[in-house]
Amino acid sequence: DAKTTQPPSMDCAEGRAANLPCNHSTISGNEYVYWYRQIHSQGPQYIIHGLKNNETNEMASLIITEDRKSSTLILPHATLRDTAVYYCIVSPHSGAGSYQLTFGKGTKLSVIP
């Protein structure tokens, strides 16, 4: 079972910021938060990951709450090409299961012109 909860779908206007929430209230101290996305008919694509500090890369920003029980993925200026299913995943840093990405149902983000 996935250890995360995400809304099934969201809409975002093109050019606006898309904020995708994820609840992971049972996260353990050694588990990272990963975000992947899957555009229709393609393989999943890595976006970003973090442990407890906020992270930013060329694709997105990841905001993790201080208690680490939830996080938000931010796409600062959504484009039509960002329409995809976004998956929030928690996985251990090392040891058993650390290579296993357990994908849930994700959030289907629709970017609207």
Partner 1 sequence: ETGVTQTPRHLVMGMTNKKSLKCEQHLGHNAMYWYKQSAKKPLELMFVYSLEERVENNSVPSRFSPECPNSSHLFLHLHTLQPEDSALYLCASSQEAGGPSEQFFGPGTRLTVL
- Residues in contact with partner 1 by the rule CB under 8 A: 2, 32, 34, 42-46, 49, 51, 91-95, 98-106
Minimum distance of partner 1 from residue 81's CB (angstroms): 15
Decide whether 14 or 59 has the Cβ nearer to partner 1.
59
Residues 51, 60, 13, 43, Cα dihedral to 10°: -90
Decide whether 53 or 113 has the Cβ nearer to partner 1.
53
Decide whether 74 or 101 has the Cβ nearer to partner 1.
101
In whole angstroms, how large is the CA radius of gyration of the chain? 13
Q: Given the DSSP bridges, would you call strands 9-13 and 107-112 parallel, antiparallel or unpaired?
A: parallel
Minimum distance of partner 1 from residue 82's CB (angstroms): 17
Q: Which residues contact 79 (CB under 8 A, 6 or more apart)?
A: 14, 15, 111
